[in-house]
């Protein structure tokens, strides 16, 4: 998935616009975009939306961000939405693999109650929203076969750290959040799941969004979260491999196929080694995802 668009569970027409935005996934949000006193009342509309959206042709993937496991709200969230057959649950404030394993168990019980195939609902985890989570970013491997990706966030983390800002005057992440970003990327690689970049909140700043998407893809992220439909097109464009990249990947694969015992091959005067082959295969695999 290249683009994952957040929409409040009580978004009404915003939910319809999200479905038509071109995003690869729509995240129905029960957490940060819903005030505490309205948490319970938005669950029924969220379920209704999921049931209707699930039948749409060529629909985006449907995710639900529930409230965190330590809030006392997660069980009621899951009770409300699992029967709507979301494609995945986005777990906020995840604290390592143990929290994903915990969510896996909760989903298994509810899939059985709703007569859904076991393991049919995937998990994505927000892996850097607490200080404790930073130290557990490498523990997601083997936590659950449902786990398909990790992403990161800076807003909750900056609040927990007591910071007055998370970006500098140039718009770039400050050091604590660069560390969180890097650990999410490494944690996803260690767990062999997708790494998804966090939101760019200045949604009217097209130049900043473009730059951040390009930097994220350069570093190994395969997609990015969005907070506004206007961000989707740019995200999709940056995270879609271009024709020259595809041609180069195919050339690398073909060269190694012709020389299966070689540790490195030459193409147009440049040497390519086995890590280049790994990246080439990954790029072509992303076209089928």
Q: Looking up tokens 């007055």, which residue turns up?
A: 164
Q: What is the arithmetic mean of pLDDT over 80-91?
A: 98
| Rounded CA separation 27/60 (Å) | 10
Q: Count other Cβ atoms within 10 Å, centred on residue 116.
A: 16
Question: How would residue 69 be classed by pLDDT, with cut points 50, 70 and 90?
Answer: very high
The answer to whether the CB of 66 falls within 8 A of the CB of 41 is no
Residue 221 has pLDDT above 90, yes or no: yes
Over residues 156-175, mean pLDDT = 95
Strands 264-267 and 270-273: antiparallel
pLDDT value of position 289: 67
**Token duo for residue 138:** 């490498």
For all residues of the chain together, what is the average pLDDT?
95
Q: Which region among 112-116, 130-134, 276-280 has the lowest average model confidence (pLDDT)?
A: 276-280
Q: How many whole angstroms from its chain centre is CA 268?
A: 37
CB 118 within 8 A of CB 85: no
pLDDT for residue 282: 84
Comparing 26 with 255, which gets the higher pLDDT? 26
What six digits make up the tokens of 260? 């299966």
- Which of 20-29, 33-42, 171-180, 267-276 comes out lowest in average pLDDT? 267-276
Tokens of residue 95, six digits: 């604290």
Cα pseudo-dihedral 101, 123, 129, 77, rounded to 10: -90
Q: What is the mean pLDDT of residues 185-202?
A: 97
Whether the predicted pLDDT of 216 surpasses 80: yes
**Cα–Cα dist 116/285, whole Å:** 28
pLDDT of residue 49: 95
Q: What are the tokens at 255?
A: 């060269």
Torsion of CA 161, 179, 146, 285, to 10 degrees: 150
Taking the model in full, what pTM does it have? 0.92
Nearest to 256 by CA among 234, 228, 279, 238: 279
For residue 273, pLDDT beyond 70: yes
| Cα–Cα distance, 202 to 194 (Å, whole number) | 24
Domains and CATH numbers, the chain: 3-238 (3.20.20.60), 243-286 (no CATH)
């Amino acid at each position: 998935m290249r683009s994952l668009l957040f929409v409040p569970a009580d978004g009404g027409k915003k939910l319809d616009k999200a479905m038509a935005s071109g995003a690869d996934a729509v995240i129905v949000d029960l957490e940060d975009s819903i005030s505490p006193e309205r948490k319970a009342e938005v669950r029924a509309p969220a379920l209704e939306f999921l049931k209707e959206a699930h039948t749409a042709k060529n629909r985006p993937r449907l995710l639900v961000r529930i409230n965190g496991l330590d809030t006392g709200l997660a069980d009621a969230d899951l009770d409300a939405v699992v029967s709507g057959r979301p494609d995945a649950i986005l777990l906020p404030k995840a604290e390592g693999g143990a929290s994903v394993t915990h969510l896996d168990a909760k989903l298994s019980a509810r899939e059985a109650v709703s007569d859904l195939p076991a393991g049919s609902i995937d998990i994505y985890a927000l892996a850097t929203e607490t200080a404790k989570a930073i130290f557990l970013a490498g523990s997601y491997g083997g936590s659950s076969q449902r786990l398909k990706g990790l992403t990161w966030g800076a807003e909750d983390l900056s609040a927990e750290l007591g910071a007055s800002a998370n970006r500098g005057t140039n718009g770039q992440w400050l050091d604590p959040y660069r560390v969180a970003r890097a650990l999410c990327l490494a944690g996803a690689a260690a767990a062999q799941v997708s790494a998804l970049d966090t939101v760019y909140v200045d949604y009217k700043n097209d130049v900043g969004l473009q730059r951040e998407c390009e930097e994220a893809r350069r570093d190994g992220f395969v997609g990015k979260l969005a907070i506004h439909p206007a961000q989707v097109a740019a995200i999709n464009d940056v995270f879609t491999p271009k024709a020259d990249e595809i041609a180069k990947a195919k050339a690398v694969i073909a060269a190694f196929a012709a020389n299966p015992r070689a540790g490195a091959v030459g193409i147009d005067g440049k040497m390519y080694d086995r890590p280049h082959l790994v990246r080439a295969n990954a790029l072509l695999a992303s076209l089928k995802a």
